[in-house]
Structure 1
Amino acid sequence: MIRLIALDLDGTLLDPAGQITDETKAAIAQARQAGIKVVLSTGRSAQEAADFSTQAGCDNLSVCLGGAVLSDNSTGVHLRRWDIPENVSQTALELCLHRDIELMIFAGEQIVLDPFSHRSLSKTFPYPVFHNAAVVTEDPIAYLKEHDLPLTKIHGDWNQPAYPLAELSKLEGIELTSSNDHDFELVPKGVSKGRTLALLALLWGIPLDQCAAVGDSANDLAMLQAVGTPIAMGNACQAVKDAARYIAPDNAHEGVAQAIRWAMEQS
C-alpha cells in the first residue's frame, strides 16, 4: 500500500523544457484524491519548491536543498535545516569563488550570488522565482558574516575543469554529490534526501515501506534506498536504475505520470 510519493524535480517532475505537463498534474491530482500524499524532494531552494509544488498540486511539505531543509510551502519556513559546520564554511566558499564557476550559495533561508554567477545564471537558469529571491554581492563571504548567515549548501556548475572537488573532499563535516553529470553539490555530512524524507514521513505517521520515490540522479539514490517502492526515470543514471523496482519512461515522455500510476497500482 502506497501512502506517500516523493518526486525529484529536475530530470523527473520537470520535462526537458523545465515545465510540468498537464498529464503529470492530472496524475498527481488522481493520487491525492486517492488519499496519497505527493511531495517534492529536490536540490532546489524552498522558494522554488513552494512554487513548483503549487503548480503541480502537491502537498504542503517539501524536502529541499538535497535534504538540507524540510520546508513548509505555504509559509516558506524551514521546519528543519542542517547547515555546513561554521569552521569549514568559509574555506569551502574560498575554494569555490573566483574560479568562473556558476555558483548558487544557499545561506539559511537566503540565496546569495556573486556577480559572475548572477550574469551566467541569468542566461542559463530561466526561473524567476530563484532570481527574485537571490541577493547579488561582490563578496559573498563578507555578506554571510555581516548578516550572520550559515552556509547550508553550495551548488556549482558550468566550468567543470575549475571545480575544486579534491580540495573540497578533504574538508570535514561535508559531503559532495551531484544532480547531473556536470555539476557538484556540497551539503552537510549525513544530509540526504532519504534522511529528510524519512523525517517527513514520520511527521505524517507513514512507514517508509509505504512510501514511493521517483528520481534520476545521484542525489536521489539515498531517497530511493530509503523507501519501499523506488522508481527510476528512463533518463536516470545507472546507479539509480539499479536501485529501482520499476523504471518509468523518461521525462520527455510522461515518465512521472506513469510512475505515479504504477505506484498507485501497488496499493
Structure 2
Amino acid sequence: MAKENIELAIRKLKVDHVFLKNVPYLKALFRHFLLKTGNFCVPCNLCGLITIFRFAVDKDIPLVIMGLSRRTDPVLPDGANPWYFKNVIKDGFPSQQKYLSLYGPMAVIKLVSDFIFHGIRIINLPDYLEWDEEKISRILQRELGVRIGEEHSDCIAHQVADYLAQRRYGFGYKTIKYSLLIRNGFMNRDEALKKIMVEETGKLPASIDDFLKILGITIEDFHIAEKKAASMDFKKYYKGCLNQAAITYRKIFFQRRLF
C-alpha cells in the first residue's frame, strides 16, 4: 500500500522519486539484529536515514525535509546509533567491514562533514507546523487519493516488532502513541486505555509465520530472540563513550519542548 500511495502522490504532484532496495542484504541485517538483540528495526531506522542523507550529498541536494513528528510519532526508549550498530555487526555478522564502511561510525562522521562542506540543511517539517494527523490524513485522501491505514501499516513486520516491544518494555508502540496524543490534546486518557486493552494483548500476531518464513528462521530461534529482548540483553551493545553520547543527544532531541 505504501508504494502505491507514493506512486499516486508523485504522479499527482509531478515530482521525482527514486526507489532503492536490496532485499537479500536487508534480510541478512534484520535476521542478525533479531537474533542478537531481539530488535530487528535498527537496520531500517539507521540505514534508511543514512541512505537518504548520502543520496542528498551525491546528488548535491541543498535541503532534506524529514517527516518525524516528535509530538505524535511513537519512539521506543532505546534507539539506534552508528556505535550501537557497529557493536552488533561485529558480533558475528559476515562481511563486517563492508557494512561498517557503509553505515558504521566513520561513514556517519564522513557524511556529517560532507553535509557541512556541501552546505546541506535538514528540516524536520512537523516541528514547524500544527501536526494534526487526522486532518492531514483527510487532506491526503481527498487531494491525492491515497489510502491511509494504521500507523506503520506499510511495514509487514510491524506487528511482530510491536509484540517484541511489549515483551521488552511491558508496553508497545500504541501505548507510546496514545500517550503523545493525550499530551497534545488529540485523545483523552479513558479512550486510550480502552483501545490499549484491545490492541496490546501481548499475544503473538497472526503475521508471525510469514515473518519467520521471510527471514528464514524457526519459531525456536524467535523465542530465543524474544527472551533476549525481555531480559534487556541487548544493553551490552551500548558500551563506549561515543555510544553514550549519542544516547544522551537522542534523549535531549526527543524531550525538547517544541511549543
TM-score by length of 2: 0.31
TM-score by length of 1: 0.31
More helix by share: 2
More strand by share: 1
Which has the bigger relative contact order, CA under 8 A and spacing at least 6?
2
